[in-house]
Structure 1
Amino acid sequence: MTATAGKSSLFRQGNFLLLWTSRSMSLFGTQLTYVALPLTAVVILHASPFQSGILGALTTLPFLLFGLGVGALLDRRKRRPVLIAADAVRAVALAWIPIAYGLDVLSIPQLFAVAFVVGTMSVLFDLAFQSYLPTMIGRPRLMEANAKMQVSESMAEVVGPGAAGALIGLLSAPLVIAADAVSYLLSSVAVLKLPADESPTWGQERGDAAPSLWTSIREGIDVVRHHPILRWCTAAAALANLFESALLAVFFLFLIRNVGLGSTEVGLIVAVGGVGAVVGAMFVERLTRLLGAGPVLVAAMALPGVGYLILGSVHGASAWTVGVAATANFIALFGLPIFNVTVISFRQVVTPDRLLGRVNATVRTFAWSALSLGSLMGGALGSTLGLRGTVLVSACGGFLASLLLFFSPLRSVRQLNEAEAADTESSTDSAHRTDTEELSESLGGPR
């Protein structure tokens, strides 16, 4: 994608502004529930640590269970109705918690059910959203659009948890969850006003029958596996998630027990890291225009390792320690939205609409599966190497993702539309090949 200089801001486009507003509201509401749901379980229903762990796992488990299948199904139907339905179901599911609390019938199994339903609808929404956005605004401005969405997400992660804590103190955790239900309802209504999209095609114009669901899933996996840049980006994302999750498993324990900081100081360090993510999302377009997409991605993936190595070196509770740790967290989180925005935009550019759902699902499934493994690895390392050793090992491991990208074809890519051109030039190939065969040639990217 080339520079957008000379073009009016996307915020001047009514449809994008409506989509951005609704998405920002739901992201902020999600952060409220991120804090309020576990507090409802622990404070009101006196959940055990094991039950709390199950509750957290149920929010991400649906992606591993349904991600690939959902991606294949989304490549057979319109995406906007899925966005509307997913938001509506999430609103109804979350609304049950304050209702059950008011009726004094709320229980842990009900929280489990709500968490699983909301997690499943999030799978549908996230994959449909990434596939719908290119059809609404067009591929040339995806970098700008994704950057603006990432800024909203990062700001919600900064403001949301603090706002949730304040609101829970004034009201109660179940009532705060009601605010998230309202945000999803408003988002659903907003998406209703957006333009309808068309169902992707798989060859109906030639009279071809729809392939089986497993064949569709396999085609999505094959596209990622054969595309030289998508393959390396997915591997890098999985590695980064693995070591990031391992570090986060001991992050708070390290700062409190090893360094000796209090909850206020830890909160400040986390907040500064969130600011780093916001700043990274704001500068991603400028950096990619100035330095090139490939070099920026390589550098962005190295920054978490740099930041966490600095974090692992802090000792003793003092203002200097807090400042160093906050700076380290800023550096670590600055690069993550740069990677996310650039890679998502690239994936949306090079993947034809008929394959977007499957390719997005494949990447997300493999990348997110590393999160659970990373948490287990972090706990195991913490038991054997200690908290500081785990931080340092995770930081060093994080550099592997940057090394993967450095030795990949992505290193030489300056503008992401280079791969888009390759797709366009090959569009006249034989119409009787499968999607996988077409993509393995037409989306080969820079060699």
Structure 2
Amino acid sequence: MTTALCSHPGFRKLWAGDTIAQFGTAVGAIVLPLLAVAVLDVSSGEMGLLMAAESAAFLLIGLPAGAWVDRVRRRPLMIRMDLARAALLLSLPIAGWFGVLSLPQLVVVALLVGACTVFFDIGYQSYLPSLVGREHLMEGNAKLQASHSAARFAGPAIGGGLTQLVGAATALVSTGVGYLASALFLSRIRAEEPPPVRAEKPNLRAEVTEGLRFVFSERSLRAIVSCTATWNLFFGVQSAVFVLFLVRTVGLTEAVVGLVMALTSVGGILGAVLSARVIRLVGQARAIWLVPLAGSPFGILIPLARPGWPVGLLVLGLLVFSFASVVYNVAQVSFRQAICPDHLLGRMNANVRFIVFGTLPLGALAGGALGEWVGVRATCGCPWRAGSWLPSGWCSRPCAPCETPPLD
């Protein structure tokens, strides 16, 4: 990975703040569903509702958010969103300590934090080109993806361990602190941000339409959006029941759940480190479709996990998935940023995220419903019945289309 940006003071602060925030987010991503399972004993449908709430904001406010971001300076907006996310998440451990935590509060907090994340993510992706220059976008995105992958590696293990040690509610404090640290580092960036280009008579509908027209008039962007939206739809289905699958079906403890999810993030770290090399080897445009195509078949290994060594199948499947998704993200995000005019960056990123993340809550709701209907393992993708090549007694819990008896 190239190192030109390591001497860039503004990027170093952005990178440091984002890294700390990502660690907090990774801890929260495992602690929040564990909190719902351990403290509130939620059902598959309720877990699907909670997972849908985390990403519903992309669908609800994704389009106008881009126009709003293009009207303001991005760095101050990102700081405000970090502070809001910290306050919202810190309300959960307070409620837990007083014994008044409820599922409606979890859902509302997840929904509002998701709304703040919409503005933060659009702002960050639109701010990076002006901070580092378009010639350094690939390096900047690769470094930020490396931090994200490192957080996904260590965060779940930290979150699972903290949950087992001090309880899920208290473990969420680290996520709130991470957002506060991110706000602090962003506030110390001294690089001057260009003023936004404002229309004399702002028209929200016309601004949103202009952004949509740019996305859908570009054939390459249409293909990227379609690919990512489809991937995220089925990722949402799996995410709705994944923690339930690991805890109740595979029988893992909270700490082991965190460890397993951390191990899978090694693929993301490798993807971030090797992304520039892979993209140079196969070409940026080809990497956008070839890498996820090669990694997707390994997903069939995920629902084959059960107690003992078959947990390794899940880890292997997620390792390859993680590697492919990070290389894909570095390639396609850098491509999008490079071809988009500055004054449309917020709307372009918002419109893309509206579509590609808008499928996540739909998938999560579908995953919760499928978990109730056909069972958690089947929802994760297990297509085999007893009598097929899948060994008898493999499943630790039978699901509707799998008549294999449970293990003793």
Is TM > 0.5 for Structure 1 vs Structure 2?
A: yes
2:381 to 373, 391, 394: 391
Q: Tell me, in whole angstroms, the C-alpha distance in 2 between the residues paired with 1:269 and 1:189.
A: 32
Counterpart residue number, 1:416: none
- Structure 1: state its 5+ residue gaps: 394-447
Counterpart residue number, 1:81: 76
Counterpart residue number, 1:212: 203
**SS of the residue aligned with 1:201?**
coil
Q: Tell me, in whole angstroms, the C-alpha distance in 1 between the residues paired with 2:210 and 2:290.
A: 31
Task: Sort the Cα spacing of 1:384 and 1:317 in 2 relative to 1 into closer, same or farther, 3 A.
Answer: closer
Q: TM-score, normalised by structure 1?
A: 0.75
- Structure with higher Rg: it is 1
* 1:161 Cα deviation from its structure 2 partner: 1.5
Task: Sort the Cα spacing of 1:9 and 1:243 in 2 relative to 1 into closer, same or farther, 3 A.
Answer: same
Q: Tell me, in whole angstroms, the C-alpha distance in 1 between the residues paired with 2:102 and 2:368.
A: 29
The one-letter code matched in structure 1 to 2:193 is D
Q: Contact between 1:300 and 1:339, CA under 8 Å: does it hold in 2?
A: yes
Farther-moved stretch of structure 1 (175-184 vs 64-73): 175-184
Counterpart residue number, 2:197: 201
Q: Contact between 1:248 and 1:375, CA under 8 Å: does it hold in 2?
A: yes
Where in structure 2 are the equivalents of 1:160-179 lying within 5 Å?
Answer: 160-179=155-174
The one-letter code matched in structure 2 to 1:374 is G
- Alignment pair present for 1:347 and 2:336: yes
Q: TM-score, normalised by structure 2?
A: 0.82
Across the two proteins, how many residue pairs are aligned to each other?
A: 379
Counterpart residue number, 1:236: 227
**SS of the residue aligned with 2:381?**
helix
* 1:268 Cα deviation from its structure 2 partner: 6.2
The one-letter code matched in structure 2 to 1:133 is L
Task: Sort the Cα spacing of 1:110 and 1:311 in 2 relative to 1 into closer, same or farther, 3 A.
Answer: closer
Q: Tell me, in whole angstroms, the C-alpha distance in 2 between the residues paired with 1:55 and 1:300.
A: 31
Q: Contact between 1:254 and 1:388, CA under 8 Å: does it hold in 2?
A: no
Q: Contact between 2:264 and 2:315, CA under 8 Å: does it hold in 1?
A: yes
Task: Sort the Cα spacing of 1:190 and 1:219 in 2 relative to 1 into closer, same or farther, 3 A.
Answer: same
Q: What are the superposed Cα offsets for residues 48-88 of structure 1, whole Å, 9 maximum, x if unpaired?
A: 65544433322211111111111011111111110111011
- Alignment pair present for 1:364 and 2:360: no
Task: Sort the Cα spacing of 1:372 and 1:327 in 2 relative to 1 into closer, same or farther, 3 A.
Answer: same
Q: Tell me, in whole angstroms, the C-alpha distance in 1 between the residues paired with 2:148 and 2:25.
A: 10
* Aligned-CA RMSD value: 3.1
Farther-moved stretch of structure 1 (26-35 vs 137-146): 26-35
Higher relative contact order (CA 8 A, sep 6+): 2
Q: Contact between 1:155 and 1:278, CA under 8 Å: does it hold in 2?
A: yes
Q: What are the superposed Cα offsets for residues 203-244 of structure 1, whole Å, 9 maximum, x if unpaired?
A: x6xxxx234101111111111100111111111111222233
Task: Sort the Cα spacing of 1:96 and 1:261 in 2 relative to 1 into closer, same or farther, 3 A.
Answer: closer
Q: Contact between 2:287 and 2:331, CA under 8 Å: does it hold in 1?
A: no
Counterpart residue number, 1:402: none
Task: Sort the Cα spacing of 1:99 and 1:261 in 2 relative to 1 into closer, same or farther, 3 A.
Answer: closer
The one-letter code matched in structure 2 to 1:14 is P
Q: Tell me, in whole angstroms, the C-alpha distance in 2 between the residues paired with 1:386 and 1:249.
A: 9
Where in structure 2 are the equivalents of 1:242-257 lying within 5 Å?
Answer: 242-248=233-239
Q: Contact between 2:78 and 2:119, CA under 8 Å: does it hold in 1?
A: yes
Q: Tell me, in whole angstroms, the C-alpha distance in 1 between the residues paired with 2:283 and 2:45.
A: 46
Task: Sort the Cα spacing of 1:175 and 1:69 in 2 relative to 1 into closer, same or farther, 3 A.
Answer: same
* 1:358 Cα deviation from its structure 2 partner: 0.6
Q: Contact between 1:87 and 1:125, CA under 8 Å: does it hold in 2?
A: yes
The one-letter code matched in structure 2 to 1:164 is G
Q: Contact between 1:253 and 1:387, CA under 8 Å: does it hold in 2?
A: no
Q: Tell me, in whole angstroms, the C-alpha distance in 2 between the residues paired with 1:128 and 1:377.
A: 30
Identity of aligned residues (%): 36
Task: Sort the Cα spacing of 1:322 and 1:214 in 2 relative to 1 into closer, same or farther, 3 A.
Answer: same
Task: Sort the Cα spacing of 1:109 and 1:266 in 2 relative to 1 into closer, same or farther, 3 A.
Answer: closer
**SS of the residue aligned with 1:263?**
coil
Counterpart residue number, 1:56: 51
Q: Contact between 2:150 and 2:269, CA under 8 Å: does it hold in 1?
A: yes
